[in-house]
Structure 1
Amino acid sequence: MSKTITYVITYENGRWVSRCPTGETEGVGVASSLSQMERDLAEIHAWAWAEDTPGVEFVFDLPEDVAVVVAEYHREKKLAEAHTKRTAELAVKAAKALTSHWSEPDTARVMGLSKQRVHQLKVSA
């Protein structure tokens, strides 16, 4: 898969509609579900570009009130993922630091984790 073709997706008259604004594909795709739309477009790509099939990417053109909520969700999700990653890094650091002074059971109690989890963190790379 060499590249990805982006489609603008809207919901019109009870159906999902795809349009390719860059002109790599012509016409309009229509499907009752996004899963079906993605399958249909992937099938068209496989047929049209058998040697080097491009991927499918959706950009949603949503009503403003919905777009605002979806954008906020994506921002918060990204922040949560960053916090989760940082929390995991700090858990390893804390487990290693604490077990250099105290037992795994005592470290587990301090960290609010199970003894098994503290051991996993302590021996992780």
Structure 2
Amino acid sequence: MSKAITYVITYERGRWVSRCPTGETEGVGVAGSLSQMERDLAQIHAWAWPEDTPGVELVFDLPEDLAGVVAEYHREKELAEAHTKRAAELAVKVAKTLTSHWSEPDAARVMGLSKQRVHQLKVSV
């Protein structure tokens, strides 16, 4: 699959509407659901570029009140993912450190995990 073609998606008169701002495709797509919109656009791409079908990328142009809460959600989700990744890294470090001093069951009790999970963390790379 080659690059993706980006579409700006709006919600107008009870339907999802797609427009390609770069001009790679012309016209306007209309669908009752975003799933249908993506399927329709993917089918158009497969028909227009059968040898090297580009992907579909949707960018949402939402009303300001909705865009704000969606942006806030995405920011918080990114932060949560970063915290989860850091916590997982620390879990490995702590499990290895504690088990170099104490038994796996004792390290598990200190960490609030099962001894099986501490063993998994300890032997992970």
In structure 1, C-alpha distance between the alignment counterparts of 2:12 and 2:65, rounded to whole Å: 16
RMSD: 0.4
In the superposition, the TM-score normalised over structure 2's length comes to 0.99
Give 1:16-27 correspondences, 5 Å limit: 16-27=16-27
Per-residue CA deviation, residues 60-116 of structure 1 (Å, 9 max, x unaligned), is 000000000000100110111111000000000000000000000000000000111
Task: Count matched residues.
Answer: 125
Aligned to 1:54: 54
Q: Does 1:78 align with 2:73?
A: no
Per-residue CA deviation, residues 1-55 of structure 1 (Å, 9 max, x unaligned), is 1111000000011100000000000000000000000000000000000010000
In structure 1, C-alpha distance between the alignment counterparts of 2:100 and 2:22, rounded to whole Å: 59
In the superposition, the TM-score normalised over structure 1's length comes to 0.99
Q: Which runs of 5+ in 2 are unaligned?
A: none
Aligned to 1:106: 106
Identity over aligned pairs, percent: 89
Q: Which runs of 5+ in 1 are unaligned?
A: none
